[in-house]
């Protein structure tokens, strides 16, 4: 093919690609998926023609124009977008994406937790002496005298210290469930089953002493979200275990790396809520001055706020996204 024929046949493609680049430069947000596909196709054609012109027609006007188009297309189509960061971006996009990737595992954890709670409720109802094993003799004596062991939270230590201890304890449980995923998911399952069984047993024991209403009143403000956070952390740990045991058609190291990044994003997204719940459990839950209706409303509100943020549409991909 001679030079004139080459230019005559291929020039419309070059001009269309140049117009696409100009439109993308003026307003990148209006570039649709179909437009991006057309731009990528034109880019491949320009690269092909550029290689041909550089070999057969060097130093010509077509060769110089194709060189400029190829350079601009490379810059426009392959440049890296600036990294986004910040707490709002993480909580608004990264965490929801990571959270939704493990919804199936969260469903597994929830089912196991409910089964364990039912088992604990039945066994402790049949054998009330299990209360001593879980609570200790002093707490059982308090129940027999009409006092809940949680009353000591308001008087035993300064509120700030107590809040810190509670948040640290809850976070420790979540970390155990999260990091235990590296043991093929055994520790997350253990945490879910033990916490479910313990909750059911405690409800049964307090029912035996006609104190179940007081226990449920105490946990109304912080309990729903606290249980949710533990289950979410356990589901993240199970994600690590699943990648370790069943990597699919990907290399195990790659699957484990992606699962680890996703699990880390989930854990980091839960951390602020554990701190908040520590304060609620000290200042609101044991306080007799706070009406039961307020505690229930606060518990439901915190749960709804967390799930609303975790399940919100996350928009474009962010850090930790695949």
Which phi and psi angles does 135 have, rounded to 5°?
Answer: -105, -30
pLDDT beyond 70 at 226: yes
Q: In this predicted structure, what is the pLDDT of residue 254?
A: 78
pLDDT tens readout for residues 72-117? 888 777 654 544 556 777 777 888 998 998 899 999 999 999 999 9
**Residues 181/236, Cβ–Cβ less than 8 Å:** yes
Q: Where along the chain do its domains lie?
A: 3-78, 87-310
Task: Tell me the Cα Rg of the chain.
Answer: 30
What is the per-residue DSSP string for 225-251?
HHHHHHHHHHHHHHHHHHHHH--TTS-
pTM comes to 0.66
Distance CA 181, CA 173 (A): 13
Distance CA 238, CA 111 (A): 14
Give the mean model confidence (pLDDT) for residues 33-62: 82
Question: 249 is written with which tokens?
Answer: 């058609």
pLDDT tens readout for residues 290-320? 899 999 999 999 999 999 999 887 554 443 3
Q: How far is CA 28 from the centre of its chain?
A: 30
Q: In this predicted structure, what is the pLDDT of residue 20?
A: 85
Of 85, 237, 123, the residue nearest 176 (C-alpha): 237
What is the pLDDT confidence band of residue 120, given thresholds at 50, 70 and 90?
very high
Share of the chain above pLDDT 90, in %: 19
Distance CA 245, CA 297 (A): 42
Question: 57 is written with which tokens?
Answer: 């027609």
pLDDT tens readout for residues 139-184? 778 788 777 777 655 555 455 444 555 556 666 776 766 666 566 6
Return the beta strands (E) in 145-194 as ranges.
Answer: none
Q: What is the DSSP letter of 91?
A: I
Cα-Cα-Cα-Cα dihedral of 226, 285, 215, 292, to 10°?
Answer: -110
Q: In this predicted structure, what is the pLDDT of residue 151?
A: 64
Q: In this predicted structure, what is the pLDDT of residue 250?
A: 66
Q: In this predicted structure, what is the pLDDT of residue 294?
A: 94
Of 267 and 317, the structure prediction assigns the larger pLDDT to 267
Distance CA 95, CA 242 (A): 20
Q: What is the DSSP letter of 93?
A: I
**Residues 275/160, Cβ–Cβ less than 8 Å:** no
Give the mean model confidence (pLDDT) for residues 226-243: 89
Distance CA 96, CA 126 (A): 42
Q: 316: phi > 0 → left, psi -120 to 50 → alpha, else beta; which?
A: beta
Q: In this predicted structure, what is the pLDDT of residue 196?
A: 93
């Amino acid at each position: 093919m001679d030079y004139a024929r080459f230019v005559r046949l291929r020039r419309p493609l070059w001009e269309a690609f140049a117009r696409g680049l100009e439109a993308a430069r003026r307003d990148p947000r209006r570039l649709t998926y179909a437009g991006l596909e057309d731009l990528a196709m034109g880019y491949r054609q320009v690269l092909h023609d550029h290689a041909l012109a550089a070999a057969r027609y060097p130093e010509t006007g077509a060769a110089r124009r194709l060189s400029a188009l190829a350079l601009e297309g490379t810059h426009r189509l392959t440049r890296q977008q600036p990294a986004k960061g910040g707490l709002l971006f993480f909580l608004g996009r990264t965490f929801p994406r990571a959270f939704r990737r493990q919804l199936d595992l969260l469903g597994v954890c929830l089912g196991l937790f409910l089964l364990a709670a039912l088992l604990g409720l039945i066994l402790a109802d049949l054998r009330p002496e299990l209360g001593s094993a879980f609570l200790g003799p002093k707490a059982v004596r308090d129940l027999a005298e009409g006092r809940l062991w949680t009353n000591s939270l308001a008087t035993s230590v300064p509120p700030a210290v107590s809040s810190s201890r509670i948040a640290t304890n809850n976070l420790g449980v979540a970390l155990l469930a999260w990091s235990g995923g590296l043991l093929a998911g055994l520790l997350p399952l253990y945490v879910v089953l033990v916490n479910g069984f313990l909750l059911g047993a405690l409800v049964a024991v307090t029912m035996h002493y006609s104190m179940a209403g007081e226990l449920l009143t105490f946990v109304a403000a912080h309990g729903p979200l606290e249980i949710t956070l533990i289950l979410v952390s356990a589901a993240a740990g199970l994600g690590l275990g699943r990648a370790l045991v069943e990597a699919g058609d990907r290399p195990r190291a790659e699957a484990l790396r992606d699962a680890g990044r996703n699990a880390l994003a989930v854990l980091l997204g839960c951390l602020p809520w554990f701190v908040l719940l520590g304060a609620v459990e000290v200042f609101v839950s044991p306080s007799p001055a706070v009406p039961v209706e307020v505690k229930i409303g606060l518990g439901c509100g915190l749960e709804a706020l967390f799930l609303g943020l975790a399940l919100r549409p996350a928009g474009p991909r962010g850090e930790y996204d695949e």
